[in-house]
Amino acid sequence: SLNVLVVLHMPLITLQGSLASMLICSVTTPGPNRRARLGSWPWQVSLHLSSHFCGGSLVNDQWVLTAAHCVGGLAGIPSLVTVYLGRQSQEGSNPNEVVRKVVQITSHPNYSFPNNDIALLKMSEPVNFTSYISPVCLGASSSSFYSGDPSWVTGWGNIGFNDPLPSPGNLLEVEADIVGNGQCSCDYSELGDLINDNMICAGFREGGKGPCFGDSGGPLVTKQGDRWIQAGIVSFTVDCAKSYFPSGYARVSQYESWINSVINTNQPGFITFTSNRTNSDLNVSCTTSNLTTHPPTTTTEAQRECLDLIDFVIKQKNLPLLGLPPYCGGGDAKMYQFCDNRTNKNVCLQKSPFCSLS
């Protein structure tokens, strides 16, 4: 089981944004178990087309924050997306639930997966705040998050790569400590210069805890005083929390100006999160000792893994999966692939003709 997040010796909170939003956002307490206690995460929303496909977070009474890759291609048909607020489970009764249609989808103008993976959804009408529906505070642009800062990620995604969320589909929570961008860049060095300042990473070296298919767009939050602050938006992962590969999130604090340019009335509450830890990233260098190595793989095995992964991502299409050589991974409307010379790229392309190799 997981321990309740406790953060001590917090500095003075700096508030920005709408006074109403600042006064109401993010005052709640998590439950101690992986299954989220009712009302623990009142900003969490479930996005549906015909069924749940992504998460999101309520940021004021009419706007939801999510990942751009969740809503790519839907900007012209926003009414296809339904927002469920106050939902606890994907099956059965949800007496505290409110439902809204989406009337506007605004993705970041410079979105190109996995960079700037952020979008805002405007709901058809405002919602009233309750014990089960209330907005999250957002990390302000002056925030600093350092390695080891405890955080939590929530969602209705798979509990493992091939393990769907079991019935009745309850909202789950898991702790995932912040990983500095320097260390995260080292961890992802096999994929080139993937990690940048628009991203934040979180996870554990041993892996096994983090987001999976269906969690995309959901919030990564950390606590300061009695306020929960959204630090990230679920964006990508390797094999659903693979060891030595922290999951990647859009860094919310990078987008304060953009968010306020889209939401020009009743703006979200932004809070400056200041870590009380030392910045261990200052001492990180990408040496052989902190790079992940993989055992040799035959061409046949590589092809099988590549095809299996593409098959799975095509079926799910909920969370971009970054593949490690010699594997392929996918996300968004394109199947972004990372295959080395041991993989038959033609086979991958035949299986997924819309993919682009890098």
Count: domains in the chain = 2
Distance in angstroms (rounded) separating the CA atoms of residues 306 and 344: 9
Which has the closest alpha carbon to 177: 272, 241, 250?
A: 241
Please tell me the predicted confidence (pLDDT) of residue 245.
87
Same domain, 65 and 142: yes
Q: What residues are labeled active site? A: 69, 117, 216
The long-range contacts involving 170-173, CB below 8 angstroms and separated by at least 24 positions, are 170/35, 170/36, 170/88, 170/89, 171/35, 171/36, 171/41, 171/44, 171/87, 171/88, 171/89, 172/34, 172/35, 172/36, 173/2, 173/30, 173/31, 173/34, 173/35, 173/36, 173/40, 173/41
- How high is the pLDDT of residue 318? 43
DSSP for residue 79: G
Query: In angstroms, rounded to a whole number, what is the distance separating the alpha carbons of residues 158 and 313?
Result: 12
DSSP 283: G
Which of residues 227, 257, 282 is at a domain's end?
282
Q: Residue 307: inside a domain, yes or no?
A: yes
Q: Does residue 168 share a domain with residue 120?
A: yes
Cα–Cα separations (whole angstroms), residue 352 to 202, 321, 328: 30, 15, 11
Asked if residue 266 and residue 314 are part of one domain, the reply reads no
Q: Are residues 162 and 45 in the same domain?
A: yes
Would you say residue 235 lies in a domain? yes
Q: What is the pLDDT of residue 302?
A: 46
Based on the domain organization, do 215 and 156 belong to the same domain?
A: yes
* Paired tokens of 220: 């990564």
* Ramachandran angles phi, psi of 268, nearest 5°: -60, 160
Phi-psi region of 207 (alpha: psi -120 to 50; beta: other; left: phi over 0): left
126 and 235 assigned to the same domain: yes
Of the residues 282, 315, 333, which one is the last residue of a structural domain? Answer: 282
Kindly state whether residues 215 and 155 are assigned to the same domain: yes
Residues 266, 320: one domain?
A: no
The pTM score is 0.78
Give pLDDT tens digits along the chain (358 positions). 222 222 222 223 333 444 445 556 766 544 433 677 887 899 999 999 989 999 999 999 999 999 999 998 899 999 999 999 999 999 989 999 999 999 999 999 999 888 999 999 999 999 999 999 999 999 999 999 999 999 999 999 988 877 889 999 999 999 999 999 999 999 888 777 889 999 999 998 887 788 988 999 999 999 999 999 999 999 988 878 778 889 999 999 999 999 999 999 999 999 999 999 999 888 888 875 444 444 433 434 544 444 454 444 444 444 554 444 333 333 333 333 333 333 444 444 443 333 333 3
Domain extent for 311: 299-357
Residues 255 and 325 in one domain: no
